[in-house]
A and B are shown apart, each in its own frame.
Chain A
Amino acid sequence: DVKVTQSSRYLVKRTGEKVFLECVQDMDHENMFWYRQDPGLGLRLIYFSYDVKMKEKGDIPEGYSVSREKKERFSLILESASTNQTSMYLCASSLSRDGYTFGSGTRLTVV
Chain B
Amino acid sequence: QKEVEQNSGPLSVPEGAIASLNCTYSDRVSQSFFWYRQYSGKSPELIMSIYSNGDKEDGRFTAQLNKASQYVSLLIRDSQPSDSATYLCAVNKDTGGFKTIFGAGTRLFVKA
Contacts and interface: CB of A to CB of B under 8 A. Distances in A.
Contact of B46 (A43, A96, A99): A99
Contacts of B22: none
Interface stretch (A11-19, A72-80, A100-108): A100-108
A96 B100 CA distance: 12
Contact of A90 (B34, B43, B90, B97): B43
A87 interface: no
B88 A43 contact: yes
Contacts of A50: 96, 98
A96 B98 CA distance: 8
Interface residues of B, number: 23
A32 to B, nearest CB: 11
Interface string B83-97: 000001010100111
A100 B46 contact: yes
Contact of B100 (A40, A100, A105): A100
Given A42-B105, A43-B102, A97 B95 contact: yes
Interface in A33-59: 33, 40, 42-43, 45, 48, 50, 56
Contact of A42 (B32, B49, B103): B103
A40 B92 CA distance: 21
A56 B98 contact: yes
Interface in B57-112: 88, 90, 92, 95-98, 100, 102-105
A102 B100 CA distance: 13
B90 A99 contact: yes
A102 B32 contact: no
Interface of A: 31, 33, 40, 42-43, 45, 48, 50, 56, 90, 94, 96-105
Interface of B: 31-32, 34, 36, 42-46, 49, 51, 88, 90, 92, 95-98, 100, 102-105
